[in-house]
Structure 1
Amino acid sequence: MHVVMTSAGIGRIEGASVAVLDAPYPDPNALIEATGSLDALAEAEVVRRIPLDGGDLGGEPGGEPCLRAPLARPRALWGVGLNYHSKAELTGRPVPDDPVLYLAASSSVGAPGAAVRLPAEQTGQMDYEAEIAVVIGRTLDRASEDRAWAAVAAVTAANDMTARDVMKRTGTPALAKSFPGFTPLGASLLARDAIADPAAIGVRSLVGGQPRQDSSSADMIFAIPELLARISRYAVLRPGDVVLTGTPAGTGQDRGDFLRPGDTVRVEVDGVLPLTTRIQA
């Protein structure tokens, strides 16, 4: 199942089009919280079809539907600080024995294709982080790794943007990552059953069309099932929670080259529609 949220309602991707569905839920968040998965959309009636390549989903000229954040209001937004071997090797940081975890404000979630304001009064080091985002479908409380992966509803792409100087100045990830729009999610959700191997999900970023990051979940220090299981030892994960799983080497911090107004960041996760974000002054 491959699902999007449009301004016309929940959609199911079918070939080169989006099938807008007659679904009894306002958005995928509500569906996942109620049922634990996206499965209920498989038999939903199609009310209209929109071409994926026709430009209709890029905006609303003439009132045409556009893509919205498929997870606009996650219950909790978890992140992990260092979770790729490539990042540890490049920065010379030791591989952690336990994941470095944090919570960010869910109000930072933005829509695919949206413009995000560079908060210049607070930061001069706005950075991008391409990440695989995991959506929890069933409650996890001190769960095993096998049970943790079985409880996943879907994955999507995330750009876990960070104000690096705010992080250094305050020592608080939540402040560095919670500016409005700093966590774009989407552009689509890929159901867990459509993922052959959680240890082989590709993730990439491009800035201004130039490749910046290129890796996969195979390089993770804590694999996705292990990461979820470890979090669940300390905090209960509930349906609708989103876990960002870390970013590989190649961020602006690694390159000494941060985002500027006019930049466009594209995040690609295997099986998911590309997530683009525009930076504005």
Structure 2
Amino acid sequence: MHVVMTAAGLGRVEDGAVAVLDTPYPDAGTLIEQTGSLESLAAARVVRRVPLTEDEVLPPLPRPRALWGVGLNYRCKAETTGRPLPDEPILYLAAPSSLGAPGSPVRVPSGRTAELDYEAEIAVVLGRPLYRAAASEAWDAVAAVTAANDLTARDVMRATAAPVLAKSFPGFTALGASLLGRDEIADSAAIGVRAWVNGEPRQDATSAAMIFPIPELLSRVSWYAALRPGDVVLTGTPAGTGQDLGAFLTPGDTVRVEVDGVLPLTNRISA
């Protein structure tokens, strides 16, 4: 199931358009929290069809319960930065108020950062509770995946050593623009993720290059915290960030993130 939220309502993406559905759920986040997946939309009646345009797409998860992230989870990123591979995931939480919508501008926090960086990531949305789970059980608890731009103030990170502060400014966790149901993903180790800045390609990798594959990452998180339906886990970013290239974002820049199977996530940086 490929699901998008527009001003016309919750719908399926079909043949380049949105089939708006007759459903009691106001958004995909509520649907996942109450049913555990996107599958109930498969039988929903189509109310009407509307064109699919990026400027009318709304956040598919307007109220995420928790935003988990991992600090280093791609071998190419470790090689580029000269860091050893971690034995355990470097985990953090970002404030839910950092959620950013697809297409919305992201404001540079005035006086707080001169090193605003993009991070293209695969975001995983939990559909079932997960606690002290084995890796073999974890993928079945996933409801959907989407694209994420996990923006980071690198200088704030250095100064505070606190990822939660470097990543929790408003709009810094951009998610969307659509959700792809788990059953549509043939292999959790073969999901592509890419980023462009002002049309220039910067990042290009797949989940096969992860240090901790998605099921193992979810399992390891679950041994420290009980994950709940509606929680979002960002799974790390590959090499090619501004940190790697010495090229940070400035007002006027546009970042485009693509994850296989979902609509592109585009955000513009503003002053």
Normalized against structure 1, the TM-score is what? 0.95
Q: How does 1:26-41 map to 2 (within 5 A)?
A: 26-41=26-41
Amino acid of the structure 2 residue aligned with 1:203: V
- Tell me the alpha carbon deviations over residues 117-175 of structure 1, each in whole angstroms, 9 at most, x when there is no partner: 11131000010000000000000011111211001000000000000000000111011
Q: Mind listing any 5+ residue stretches in structure 1 that lack a counterpart?
A: 60-65
- C-alpha distance in 2 between matches for 1:233 and 1:72: 27
Q: Mind listing any 5+ residue stretches in structure 2 that lack a counterpart?
A: none
Partner residue of 2:42?
42
Partner residue of 1:86?
76
Normalized against structure 2, the TM-score is what? 0.99
- CA shift at 1:58, angstroms? 3.4
- Tell me the alpha carbon deviations over residues 87-111 of structure 1, each in whole angstroms, 9 at most, x when there is no partner: 0001110000000000000111111
Amino acid of the structure 2 residue aligned with 1:138: R
- C-alpha distance in 2 between matches for 1:2 and 1:279: 28
Partner residue of 1:228?
218
Partner residue of 1:280?
270
Is 1:240 aligned to 2:230, yes or no?
Answer: yes
What SS is found at the alignment partner of 1:42? helix
Match of 1:135 among 105, 125, 138: 125
Partner residue of 2:182?
192
Partner residue of 1:16?
16
- CA shift at 1:16, angstroms? 1.4
Match of 1:178 among 168, 173, 185: 168
Partner residue of 1:213?
203
Amino acid of the structure 2 residue aligned with 1:103: L
After the TM superposition, which segments of 4 or more aligned residues of structure 1 sit over 2 Å from their partners? Answer: none
- Tell me the alpha carbon deviations over residues 227-251 of structure 1, each in whole angstroms, 9 at most, x when there is no partner: 0000001100000000000000000
- C-alpha distance in 2 between matches for 1:116 and 1:78: 20
Report sequence identity in percent: 72
What SS is found at the alignment partner of 2:223? helix
- C-alpha distance in 1 between matches for 2:166 and 2:124: 21
- C-alpha distance in 2 between matches for 1:48 and 1:122: 46
Partner residue of 1:58?
54
Match of 2:191 among 179, 201, 212: 201
Amino acid of the structure 1 residue aligned with 2:192: G
Is 1:165 aligned to 2:155, yes or no?
Answer: yes
- CA shift at 1:9, angstroms? 1.2
- C-alpha distance in 2 between matches for 1:269 and 1:29: 19
What SS is found at the alignment partner of 1:276? strand
What SS is found at the alignment partner of 2:122? strand
Partner residue of 2:25?
25
What SS is found at the alignment partner of 2:238? coil
Amino acid of the structure 2 residue aligned with 1:58: E
Match of 2:113 among 96, 103, 123: 123
Amino acid of the structure 2 residue aligned with 1:8: A
Is 1:73 aligned to 2:63, yes or no?
Answer: yes
Partner residue of 1:7?
7
